[in-house]
Chains A and B, each alone.
Chain A
Amino acid sequence: MWDFPLLPEAASSTAAEVDALFWILIGVASVFGGIITAGLVYFNIRYRKNSKASRAGAVSEHLPLELLWSIVPLVISAGIFGWGAKLYFDMHVPPENAREVYVVGKQWMWKIQHPQGNREINELHVPVGVPIKLVMTSQDVIHSFFVPAFRIKQDVLPGRYTTTWFEATKPGEYHLFCAEYCGTSHASMKGRVVVMKQEEFERWLAGSRQEESMTASGDQLFRQFGCVTCHSQTSQERGPSLHGLFGSTVRLADGSTVTADERYIRESILNPGAALVAGYKPLMPTYAGQMSQEQLFQIIEYVKSLGGPQIAGERRNP
């Protein structure tokens, strides 16, 4: 029972830097807390009511002192702010080569889809040393994907996609918690992240696959829902081709531009009129309510498989 940790496990590429910043804050807090405590204790002893210490020359105004204890904390704060902000920014931008994993939160479980077709519930298997980008959404209330050992936490919202990323540095099993209160069994909405050596992970992927890849499932949905009638490479009259779309810059009918990322594709499926591509009529019906969150992810994965802007060569919309 007494064998309990005082420090959390650090198992991601950013954990060490978050911890470094944390310990610098501990240092700053100790120095300032120490100064205040020392001041309180010393003055209380030296200037207790019946002490003989001299009270001559007591002052109640001292501009240099006021400036000192305003400006020094301000400068220290600015430094901590800058470091924290830079690291926060890095934690938001996944590396180019990150592998994607799709996460759907619901009361009260985490549903995970790997592009290869593997599905998991309340477990996430990942290889060590490979950056993993999580594309997440909720099908009911707000949840939050929290892995303490990786120092990552990101709210998972209904009706939109949020992303985060990590690169695990140590094989092992780590807690996965829901950190945003989500109703009755919030405390049970937890699981584990299993970090495996690369070759073990590949073996796990091959061994636990229950269905075809997300791209293949997405391709099938693409036909099943009739997307293919308007969005094929050959029929560009009614809708733009999706080849080379993912990651490209799309010009919209209102003159603005938007990057074709997961959020954009999701919105175009559920609310096609919101971001109409320049040169097209608002013909597309909404698919809201017809596809599950998992199916949406599969179609997105299919669209990704059609290539990005560099492969497309020339885009219809410059």
Chain B
Amino acid sequence: MKTVNEDALQKNYITAAYGIRSWLLTRDHKRIALLYLISITLFFFIGGFFAVLMRLELMTPQGDLVSAETYNRLFTMHGVAMIFFFLVPSIPAVLGNFLLPMMLGARDLAFPRLNLLSWYLYMVGGAYTLYAMVTGGIDTGWTFYTPYSTGYSTTNVVPVVVGIFILGFSSILTGLNFIVTTHKMRAPGLTWFRLPLFVWSQYATSVIILLATPVLAITLALLGVERIFRVGIFDPALGGDPILFQHMFWFYSHPAVYIMVLPSMGVVSELVTCFARRRIFGYRFMAFAVMAIAVLGFLVWGHHMFVSGQSVYAGMAFSALSFFVAIPSAIKVFNWTATLHKGRIEFRTPVLYAFGFIGLFTIGGLTGLFLATLAVNVHLTDTYFVVAHFHYIMVGGAVMGYLGGIHYWWPKMTGRMYHEGWAKFSALILFVGFNLTFFPQFILGYLGMPRRYYIYPEEFQVLNVLSTAGASILGLGYIIPMIYLLWSLRKPRTAGPNPWNAVGLEWLTPSPPPTHNFDKTPVVTEEPYAYEEKSAHGG
């Protein structure tokens, strides 16, 4: 009884202040994380809604549900909403914001006001883009290829691009904040090689964000200049070069794939170790692999352009470098698997998501080898094979990791436990639905079905129907967690500070944590993931 009374007396970050102002003007990284959680969930369901309409249209070879104009807007806005407004911010802005200071033993991020500004920039960019979507939408594809986007499309290109431009600064400020925080605010004894891999992954991601996002901003600004003022930059009719746009766009957008998936890798390392009760296998290799992916990820953008007309020799260099980037990814997958060896594996919901991540990311990564192989890429690029491949990485990988993380830290964030039976069921549903949706698309791509087609030859119908059937199951897998997670908020806050019996500084604080996180700064005396020592001491 005594502990309960103490918890009740101590205010947590949610009960510390009341009223809308206390949320909108907060500088608490945990509250900002919740603001992000709500905002990006909204965009996730908007993007998902577009996907549902697309999959319904593709049930039949003819265009019977939507017109070509509508379909082109749907896939463009699906991509824009999911990539820029959900995937890129997802783990860093929600879980990273919430956990990074706590994992470092800090009270907050280095620049709390900047952190709040990041969220406002996200909201302004998001609101502006939503406005552009509602008032006509955009039909260029999320890749905005020129000269279509600058000289031919009659849709709201400039407003969407402005929205993403603003959003970019939100990313940049978050990245900057994380880098400074990781360098300057680690608790005593928390050396670089004692950092949890989640922190390493956030750090690597932040470096990519900081270096790549400005290039996106420049590219989109040039696109806007050409579209509005007819200055020839990318359009050959004005004296520009359309391949230049592709180089600049992918210089951001390839590293952006790692912005989406590296944080998930960090989450998976936390989950696998906790539920196998094991130290991570090959800690240093894992940390270096993350940094290697971040660096090599900047050198492979040209693999999106093997049939674009870039030089054959450039193609060869980019192909070779793309194979290199596969190696650190392979190292990570092998090390997670090896971590299970001689563990004491407990099948709780978060680790099911982690296993889902490993399986789907492996398929996504291995099919990446197909696309890195020049002669095979010629056939597969711009077909459904590519669509399947990047959904395996970005949904099978990044979203699985995100949901695994949400399930793992939900009790920390809210103090409540969700219904575990429903949670396990929906993890399974998600895995099955995902594979049924996207695996047929590999075959469709090999058969030659191009992407961004709303009508298609009849022989592709069966596989498309399978994919749509899978998508309806997949949709359930996203809706069920929404329901039981929200439902859990009705329960009392009984999760306790450490429901998983995990190691890591974030579990030393009450759930939900107080605004200042720690009553006194923790001192770190051991390596991360010391689960075996914990069991040995009967912990």
Q: Write the residues of chain B forming the contact surface with A, with a CB cutoff of 8 angstroms.
A: 63, 68-69, 72, 139-141, 143, 145, 147-148, 151-153, 235-237, 242-243, 276, 278-283, 285, 306-309, 312, 315-316, 319-320, 323-324, 326-327, 330-331, 333-335, 337-347, 355, 358-359, 362-363, 366-367, 369-370, 372-379, 381-383, 443, 446-448, 450-457, 459-463, 532
- The answer to whether B69 and A153 touch across the interface, beta carbons within 8 angstroms, is no
- The answer to whether B331 and A69 touch across the interface, beta carbons within 8 angstroms, is yes
- 8 Å CB contact of B139 from A160, A184, A188: A184
Distance from B458 Cβ to chain A, minimum over Cβ atoms (Å): 9
- The answer to whether A81 and B319 touch across the interface, beta carbons within 8 angstroms, is yes
Q: Write the residues of chain A forming the contact surface with B, with a CB cutoff of 8 angstroms.
A: 1-2, 4-8, 14, 17-18, 21-22, 25, 28-29, 32-33, 36-37, 39-40, 43-44, 47-49, 53-55, 57-58, 60-62, 65-66, 69-70, 73-74, 77-78, 80-81, 83-85, 87-89, 91-92, 107, 140-142, 144, 146, 148-149, 151-155, 157-160, 162, 175, 177-188
- 8 Å CB contact of B141 from A7, A178, A181, A184: A181
- The answer to whether A17 and B375 touch across the interface, beta carbons within 8 angstroms, is yes
**Contact residues in B for A152 (Cβ distance below 8 Å):** 378-379
Shortest Cβ distance from B235 into A: residue:
A158
Q: How far is B243's CA from A151's CA once the two chains are assembled, in angstroms?
A: 23
- The answer to whether B374 and A47 touch across the interface, beta carbons within 8 angstroms, is no
- The answer to whether A66 and B282 touch across the interface, beta carbons within 8 angstroms, is yes
Q: How far is B366's CA from A300's CA once the two chains are assembled, in angstroms?
A: 45
- 8 Å CB contact of B148 from A2, A28, A160, A183: A183
Q: How far is B452's CA from A282's CA once the two chains are assembled, in angstroms?
A: 46
Q: How many residue pairs at the A-B interface have CB separations less than 8 Å?
A: 268
**Contact residues in B for A187 (Cβ distance below 8 Å):** 63, 68, 450, 452-456
- The answer to whether A28 and B452 touch across the interface, beta carbons within 8 angstroms, is no
Q: How far is B282's CA from A78's CA once the two chains are assembled, in angstroms?
A: 25
Q: List 25 A-B contacts (CB under 8 A).
A: A5-B459, A6-B443, A17-B375, A22-B370, A29-B369, A33-B363, A39-B337, A48-B344, A48-B346, A49-B345, A55-B342, A60-B282, A65-B282, A69-B334, A74-B324, A141-B151, A142-B148, A146-B382, A148-B447, A153-B379, A155-B308, A158-B236, A159-B237, A159-B242, A179-B382
Distance from B11 Cβ to chain A, minimum over Cβ atoms (Å): 36
Shortest Cβ distance from A45 into B: residue:
B345
- The answer to whether B358 and A87 touch across the interface, beta carbons within 8 angstroms, is no
- The answer to whether B346 and A49 touch across the interface, beta carbons within 8 angstroms, is yes
Q: How far is B286's CA from A62's CA once the two chains are assembled, in angstroms?
A: 13
Identify the interface centre among B307, B320, B330, B344: most chain A CB within 10 Å of its CB.
Answer: B307
- The answer to whether B312 and A18 touch across the interface, beta carbons within 8 angstroms, is no
- 8 Å CB contact of B307 from A55, A66, A144, A178: A144
**Contact residues in B for A159 (Cβ distance below 8 Å):** 236-237, 242
Shortest Cβ distance from A154 into B: residue:
B307
Shortest Cβ distance from A147 into B: residue:
B448
Shortest Cβ distance from A72 into B: residue:
B330
Distance from A66 Cβ to chain B, minimum over Cβ atoms (Å): 5
- 8 Å CB contact of B342 from A1, A4, A36, A47: A47
- The answer to whether A178 and B379 touch across the interface, beta carbons within 8 angstroms, is no
Q: How far is B459's CA from A264's CA once the two chains are assembled, in angstroms?
A: 42
Distance from A160 Cβ to chain B, minimum over Cβ atoms (Å): 7
Distance from B88 Cβ to chain A, minimum over Cβ atoms (Å): 22
Distance from B390 Cβ to chain A, minimum over Cβ atoms (Å): 15
- The answer to whether B285 and A66 touch across the interface, beta carbons within 8 angstroms, is yes
- The answer to whether A181 and B341 touch across the interface, beta carbons within 8 angstroms, is no
Known A55-B344, A91-B375; contact A62-B282, beta-carbon cutoff 8 A: yes
Shortest Cβ distance from B373 into A: residue:
A84
- The answer to whether B456 and A47 touch across the interface, beta carbons within 8 angstroms, is no
